[in-house]
């Protein structure tokens, strides 16, 4: 019941016509979203079985980035179907075995149904991004955002085909409209220049990345310096100044005209850097330093004494710009940037946050599609095809397991049913039309949300990466089986335990004591 309740809570958010949820915390902060994993993470859930449903959504989000609601709704429906079988006195182990067989067969059917996509097919990749964004608050500008997402992912893809979307920086800024969002072929840092006398923009930038402080180092041991005359004090201060000047001269001598430092910079060193005409930013995050290295080709150096011309990276332009109320540093026009940035704009915080979630989903699914090079139609088409083929498969299995496989097939149809319901269409009519099309061999027939008719989803461009579906079905089946196999919830003793997980003082018992 608890697991089904969680699935019921997110069911209305499924699909392009799904409704949003307003989540209000104890402080009164509001989140408005229809992103399944965000809703489940924010929900205050106590029941242990319900928490397992949240885990499905989290795993789906980590693995693929989209399809979180689908996975949870499927798991909920599998449990509902299992409940009916339990009432017919079919043992949970038999149901679990049938579900496992059905899940394996489903993956096999999906792979046969999948269509290949190449990295060069920008149009198809864009459609994948649009499908992921549909219904996520970015409706009006989803085409422009999808183009950005595809360009960004293709830029950061490595030669071996792997895509780490962590190399794409997404910055959210309130102000302007969604259409003002932009893709920067380089890195955008939430930092301004260190000194007002430094140049505001640098063309043909030669960039040094330093993971060390431009300060006089404090000694590791406690040391005292005794100064007995003003001359000695002046000499001491002059020496500090000379050392800082020498550090700045080393940077300038390497040919660098832009410097990013991960640690601190002394105020006096900042003055010398400004005099030398170097654009400088300090306390840049480690992750941003790595992105800068990927974008510009610079090497991160850990000591100022080692700096040379070979360590420098290149960018066409480094400039400080004001975005909304914040000053930011743009490092752009890089030759072959393996790290890029997207700035998302929107009228309110809620709009920008939801836009960020939509963009995150789009980036992840395009990345997955580039890695696997396989996609399936959307709109409930794979689920109807699975239901049809699993029913045929069930008749070859026989026995009580057959009933469990048929229940699994029935559970698959919850996705097209929910899509129809959320779009204000008749569930039964929509499902009958889809079944009829699939029985006639139209494997890509799914529900067109605008007309309410069964259409070929591949022609409509409603497509998803294969991994979104395989992961959702796998996770849903595994969790349903796990919950089915639990026959009792027992409150465990908290507190310290002895060896072997036994209560304290009973840790010495070996296996033979229980035989």
Residues annotated as catalytic are 35, 68-69, 361
As given in the structure block, the two tokens for residue 483 are: 């919950």
Sheet bearing 115-116, strands edge to edge = 115-116, 374-377, 463-465
Please state, in angstroms and rounded to a whole number, the distance separating the CA atoms of residues 52 and 61: 14
For residues 82 and 76, what is the distance between their CA atoms, to the nearest angstrom?
Answer: 10
Spatial distance between the Cα atoms of 113 and 126, rounded to a whole number of angstroms:
21
**CB neighbourhood size of 224 (10 A):** 4
Q: How far is Cα 267 from Cα 281, in angstroms, rounded to an integer?
A: 12
| Contacts of range 122-126, beta carbons closer than 8 Å, 24 or more positions apart | 122/150, 122/154, 124/375, 124/461, 124/463, 125/150, 125/153, 125/154, 125/366, 125/369, 125/370, 126/150
Instruction: Measure Cα distances from 45 to 10, 50, 61, 296, 468 in Å.
Output: 13, 7, 19, 46, 25
CB contact at 8 A, 57 and 71: yes
Q: Work out the burial of residue 82: count CB atoms within 10 Å of its CB; fewer than 13 is exposed, 13-18 middle, 19 or more buried.
A: buried
Is residue 446 within 8 Å of 457, Cβ to Cβ?
yes
Return d(Cα 52, Cα 370) in angstroms, integer: 30
Q: 310: which DSSP letter?
A: G
3-state secondary structure of 197: coil
Task: Give the position of tokens 């059905």.
Answer: 102
Query: Rounded to the nearest 10 degrees, what angle do helices 48-63 and 466-484 cross at?
Result: 160
Give the pairing type, strands 340-346 and 300-301. unpaired
Strand partners, 315: 205
Task: Give the integer Cα–Cα distance in Å for 437 and 155.
Answer: 40
Q: What is the rounded CA–CA span in Å between residue 75 and residue 69?
A: 10
**Angle between helix 381-397 and 92-113 (nearest 10):** 130
In whole angstroms, give the CA distance from residue 16 to residue 136. 8
Q: Using an 8 Å Cβ cutoff, are 99 and 473 in contact? A: no
Q: How many residues does the chain have?
A: 515
The β-bridge partners of 345 are 173
**DSSP letter assigned to residue 59:** H
Q: Beta strand 168-174 with 340-346: parallel, antiparallel or unpaired?
A: parallel
């Amino acid at each position: 019941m608890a697991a089904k309740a969680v699935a019921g809570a997110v069911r209305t958010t499924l699909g392009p016509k799904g409704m949003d949820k307003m989540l209000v915390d104890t402080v009164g902060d509001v989140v408005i979203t229809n992103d399944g994993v965000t809703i489940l993470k924010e929900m205050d859930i106590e029941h242990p079985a319900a928490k397992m449903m949240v885990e499905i959504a989290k795993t789906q989000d980590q693995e693929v980035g989209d399809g979180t609601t689908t996975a949870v709704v499927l798991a909920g429906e599998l449990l509902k179907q299992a409940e009916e079988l339990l009432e017919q006195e079919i043992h949970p182990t038999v149901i679990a075995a049938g579900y496992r067989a059905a899940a394996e067969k489903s993956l096999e059917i999906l792979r046969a149904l999948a269509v290949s996509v190449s990295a060069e097919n920008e149009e198809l990749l864009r459609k994948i991004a649009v499908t992921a964004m549909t219904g996520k608050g970015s409706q009006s500008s989803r085409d422009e955002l999808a183009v950005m997402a595809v360009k960004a992912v293709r830029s950061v893809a490595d030669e071996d085909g792997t895509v780490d979307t962590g190399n794409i920086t997404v910055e959210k800024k309130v102000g302007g409209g969604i259409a003002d969002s932009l893709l920067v072929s380089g890195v955008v840092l939430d930092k301004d220049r260190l000194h007002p006398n430094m140049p505001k923009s640098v063309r043909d930038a030669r960039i040094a990345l330093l993971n060390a402080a431009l300060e006089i180092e404090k000694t590791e041991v406690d040391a005292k310096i005794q100064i007995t005359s003003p001359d000695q004090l002046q000499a001491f201060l002059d020496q500090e100044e000379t050392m800082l000047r020498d550090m700045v001269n080393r940077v300038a001598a390497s040919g660098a005209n832009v410097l990013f430092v991960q640690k601190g910079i002394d105020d006096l060193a900042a003055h010398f850097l400004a005099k030398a005409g170097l654009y400088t930013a300090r306390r840049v995050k480690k992750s941003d330093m790595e992105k800068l290295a990927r974008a510009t080709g610079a090497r991160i150096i850990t000591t100022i004494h080692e700096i040379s011309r070979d360590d420098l990276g290149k960018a066409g332009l480094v400039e400080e710009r004001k975005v909304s109320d914040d000053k930011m540093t743009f490092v752009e026009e890089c030759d072959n940037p393996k790290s890029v940035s997207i700035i998302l704009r929107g009228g309110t915080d809620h709009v920008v946050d939801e836009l960020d979630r939509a963009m995150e989903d789009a980036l992840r699914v395009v990345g997955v599609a580039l890695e696997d090079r396989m996609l399936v139609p959307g709109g409930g088409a794979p689920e109807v095809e699975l239901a049809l083929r699993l029913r045929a498969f069930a008749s070859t299995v026989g026995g009580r397991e057959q009933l469990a496989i048929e229940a699994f097939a029935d559970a698959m149809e919850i996705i097209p049913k929910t899509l129809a319901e959320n779009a204000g269409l008749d569930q039964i009519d929509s499902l009958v039309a889809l079944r009829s099309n699939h029985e006639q061999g139209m494997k890509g027939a799914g529900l067109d949300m605008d007309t309410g008719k069964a259409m070929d989803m591949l022609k409509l461009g409603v497509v998803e990466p294969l991994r979104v579906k395989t992961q959702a079905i796998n996770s849903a089946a595994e969790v349903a089986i796990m919950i089915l196999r639990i026959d009792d919830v027992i409150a465990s003793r908290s507190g310290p335990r002895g060896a072997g997980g036994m209560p304290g003082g009973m840790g010495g018992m070996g296996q033979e004591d229980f035989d």
